Amino acid sequence: MTEQVKSRKKEFIGLVKSNKMEKTIVVSIETLALHPLYKKYVKQSKKVKAHDEKNEAKIGDRVRVIECRPISKEKSWKLAEIVERAR
């Protein structure tokens, strides 16, 4: 029985807003949510701090972050890959 188990970790694609910290990036994640009263989709955004081991992500890059164990007080996300480089 060698089935591949899908990971239960959350994944998001977002935009790098800051890379000024050592081995840490700030990623802005935008989602669409339906407003309960007006039935209109509104943009919601949140910022998360993600671990970037090699300091390879730059401001403006589109990256995929994955949930991981807490690395520090505010950092519990990890850089999975850089989807698109900034121009």
The ranges assigned to domains in the chain are 11-84
* Mean pLDDT (the chain, rounded): 94
Let me know: does 55 contact 84? Beta carbons within 8 Å: no
Mean pLDDT throughout 61-87? 96
DSSP, collapsed to helix, strand or coil, labels residue 82 as strand
Mean pLDDT throughout 12-19? 97
Architecture of domain 11-84: Beta Barrel (2.40)
pTM: 0.86
Token pair belonging to 32? 């669409």
What's residue 8's pLDDT? 87
What's residue 38's pLDDT? 97
